[in-house]
Amino acid sequence: MNFFPTKIPKIIKRIFPNYVWDFSSKDKTLYLTFDDGPTPKITEWTLKTLKAHNAKATFFCIGNNVENHPSIFESILKEGHAIGNHTHNHLKGWKTHTETYLHNVEEAQRIIDLSLSEFKRKNNETHNCHKDEKIFRPPFGKIKNSQGKALIELGYKIIMWSIIAYDWDCKTSKEQCLKNIVDNVSNGDVIVFHDSEKASRNMMYALPKVLEHFCKKGYQFKAIETV
């Protein structure tokens, strides 16, 4: 049984009001997010697919993956997408001591900031999507209250989601993955996909269809840091 429902109910948002679950919007705007990359081949495919639909997204990157795949991380920046922190080693907050968790998040942020600075230096430009504000998403969505409070005090905005594709779940068919999104979307929703090996079968089936479906309906896909 999955821990979170596909569409996050309002009561959960009220219980955790200091976390961002979606954005109020009268416009047809959606916020695609991708967790766990950068991943060879899969992230690059994702970038090409987004570009084909003139869509921007937010990539919540694992610090260790950024360190291991700097050229793919740079490609995300070149395409004008936003970057978020997803810990350095994909830690599950509920099973991690708060001090250890915070150190891991800060290590990921150090790698992200260094990589971003190097990108700016090489390209002699400012990456417009990346503001000073730090955004963070906890792996598995599982974070202790003490961890969340401490991260907010450190200047992080914690971004959760309003719809999850369950692309990584081997029990979810690729057709159901698509249905999870298409049947539940409303204006301002934050949608979670994963640019990872585990999720690739479902994500690579659903993402192009999601983009095509909602673009035809007049929706725009924006990066969270441009809000």
> If you average pLDDT over every residue of the chain, what do you get?
94
Residue 208 CA to residue 213 CA, distance in Å, equals: 8
Q: Which residue segment(s) compose the domain that 27 sits in?
A: 10-226
% the chain with pLDDT above 90: 89
Look at residue 124 in the predicted model and tell me its pLDDT: 78
Domain-located, residue 5: no
Domain-located, residue 3: no
Domain-located, residue 1: no
122-179 confidence digits (pLDDT tens): 887 655 555 557 999 999 999 999 999 999 999 999 999 999 999 999 999 999 999 9
Q: Is the pLDDT of residue 226 over 50?
A: no
Which residues are CB-contacts of 167 (< 8 A; sequence separation ≥ 6)? 177, 193, 194, 199, 202, 203, 206
Look at residue 42 in the predicted model and tell me its pLDDT: 98
Domain-located, residue 2: no
The residue-averaged pLDDT of 184-188 equals 95
Q: At 75, which CATH number?
A: 3.20.20.370
Look at residue 132 in the predicted model and tell me its pLDDT: 59
192-214 confidence digits (pLDDT tens): 999 999 999 999 999 999 999 99
Domain-located, residue 48: yes
Please give the angle made by the CA atoms of 86, 90 and 96, to the nearest 5 degrees: 110
Look at residue 24 in the predicted model and tell me its pLDDT: 82
Look at residue 123 in the predicted model and tell me its pLDDT: 86
* 3 state DSSP class of 31: strand
Could you give the number of structural domains in the chain?
A: 1
Query: Any idea which of 16-20, 42-46, 120-124, 144-148 has the lowest mean pLDDT?
Result: 120-124
* 3 state DSSP class of 227: coil
Domain-located, residue 4: no
Query: What are the helix and strand counts (H, E) for the chain?
Result: 8, 8
Look at residue 18 in the predicted model and tell me its pLDDT: 96
Look at residue 26 in the predicted model and tell me its pLDDT: 82
Please give the biggest Cα pair distance in the chain.
49
Confidence of residue 2 (pLDDT cuts 50, 70, 90): low
Domain-located, residue 57: yes
